[in-house]
A and B are shown apart, each in its own frame.
Chain A
Amino acid sequence: MRPEEATQALREVDALRRHTLSERRSTWFPLVLFGVLALGAAVACEVGDERTVALYWAVAGPAGGIATGAYAWRRSLRVGVASSPLPYLVTAVAIVVGASLAGALSTGSARTTAPYLVVAVGYLVFAWLDRHPLAAVTAVAVLAAAVAVVATGPAHGCAILSATFGLAFAATGLALRERARR
Chain B
Amino acid sequence: MAAGNLPRSRIAPRKWAALTALFAALCVAPFLLSNFSVFQLTLVLAYAIVLLGLNMLTGYNGQISLGHGAFYAIGAYVAAILMDHYGVPYWLTLPAAAAVCLVAGFLFGLPALRLEGPYLALATFALAVALPQLLKHKALQPWTGGVEGITLVKPDAPFGLPLNADRWLYFFSLAVAIGMFFLGRNLLRGRIGRAMVAIRDNPIAAEAMGIDIALYKSLTFGVSAMFTGVGGALGAIAVQFVAPDSFNVFLSIAFLVGVVVGGLATVQGAVYGALFIQFVPNIADRISKAAPWAIYGIMVILFMYLAPGGVASFIHRISERWRRRT
* Mutual binders A and B: no
User: Which B positions have Cβ atoms within 8 angstroms of A?
Assistant: none
